[in-house]
Amino acid sequence: MGQPAAADIATIGRISAVPAILQVIRELTGLRFAAVARVTEDSWIACAVLDQLDFGLQVGGELDVVTTLCHEIRQSHHSVVIDNASEDPLYRGHHTPRLYQFESYISVPIYRTDGRFFGTICALDPNPAPLKSSTIQSTMESFARMLALQIEGEEKLQKTEAALVQERETAALREQFIAVLGHDLRNPLFAISAGAEMLLRKLPDPANQQRARHILTSARRATQLVDDVLDFARGALGQGIPVNIERCPDLENALRHVISEIQSIHPDRTLRASIGDVHGIACDRERVEQLLSNLVANAVAHGDPHGEVDVSAQIKAGQFVLSVKNQGQIASDALPHLFRPYSRPTSGTPQTGLGLGLYIASQIAKAHGGELGVVSTAQHGTTFTFSLPIRT
């Protein structure tokens, strides 16, 4: 028995109405053997059986298809009804009644909803029975149509459940991926950074100090890339970026530190800050620092290389408003895609990073219950604005 046949047997076995259908057929016809069979060009296989004759056929049992009348039904597409095979002009000399020793017999075809032949519902008995003069045939054909709908529904359900299992397995792999990034990569990067810092303190040779600084810078950059991928993975999995919101008494200093840090990396650029009284804002200090760092780094990398970058933070109309403005302009067709992962400006210049900065910034804003928006015009340049309602 091949895999497709096993799948069909399993499908019929999961349809709870099948045993009841066979029992109703037994009571309507008086025939003591009834079955649902999967019939193909090469095989006759029992998918469900009600046997009160000790016929000896169980679920999964096979018959030589050419010895059955179901083989002829598959070809003719017509039901077969026999009251008394010994006296029937069509079947009294037929090999099937003699081989299986029955007198009364009924079998109706089952078609899938797309018209493909599935098999039959059949019943038989060694004794004659008045089948043709009753509504039994129409009833069984109704059962066959109902069973076809049940088969389709069950197969769709199984596909859905299989897809769900696959999605859960994929999600588990993603979780493992996050764990690898979070542990197996961050730990050695931390060791590299710590080692480079120690070398900086102990090496008197300026050339070796420069090498140690390069190692430290590279390790920190790699750590930031890992952190970005971790944040992206959390967002993509629907978990969102975790935040720890609490009153921040030194938010102004934190924002100025971010600007100062980026200024030291780009001493040739002009970064200006206008930060008002933002004392006591409820937020995740480190995440807001990360958001600002991503926005300023984006402005330096993609804005006008000769223009200034202006950072503003203030409380306005019951909201904490943090904005970063540069003199560049973003193409109008690119604006709707800016906050998607891996978004990059169209440019012939090679870009560093993963293209996750603005996506992560938007996720941080969302995790706070705020919004991150952008406006870009030729006259006024590009301004990214993070707005956060102030919690009372």
pLDDT tens per residue across span 53-102: 999 899 999 999 999 999 999 999 999 999 999 999 999 999 999 999 99
Q: Is the dihedral of CA 292, 293, 299, 302 positive or negative?
A: negative
Order across the sheet with 309-316: list the strands. 271-275, 309-316, 319-326, 381-389, 371-377
Q: Which residues contact 126 (CB under 8 A, 6 or more apart)?
A: 53, 101, 102, 103
CB within 8 A of 355, min separation 6: which ones?
Answer: 341, 342, 343, 344
Average pLDDT (336-351) is: 64
Whether 287 contacts 369, CB under 8 Å: no
What is the pLDDT averaged over residues 203-211? 82
Average pLDDT over residues 200-228: 79
Q: Which DSSP string corresponds to 71-96?
A: HHHHHH---EEES-TTT-TTTTT-HH
What is the C-alpha to C-alpha distance for residues 245 and 169, in angstroms, rounded to an integer? 33
Q: Pick from 120, 105, 142, 107: which is nearest to 8 by CA?
A: 120
DSSP-based three-state secondary structure for 373: strand
SS3 category, 275: strand
Confidence at residue 349, expressed as pLDDT on a 0 to 100 scale: 45
User: What percent of the chain is modeled with pLDDT above 90?
Assistant: 54
More confident residue, 319 or 222: 319
Confidence of residue 181 (pLDDT cuts 50, 70, 90): low
Closest Cα to residue 144, out of 120, 115, 116? Answer: 120
pLDDT-based confidence at residue 229 (cuts at 50, 70, 90):
confident
Cα three-residue angle 8-9-12, rounded to 5 degrees: 85
Q: May I ask the CATH class of domain 3-159?
A: alpha beta
For domain 246-389, the CATH superfamily is Histidine kinase-like ATPase, C-terminal domain (3.30.565.10)
Can you give the residue ranges of every domain in the chain? 3-159, 165-236, 246-389
Residue 169, judged by CB atoms within 10 A of its CB (0-12, 13-18, 19+), counts as exposed
Give the pLDDT band of residue 236 (cuts 50, 70, 90): low
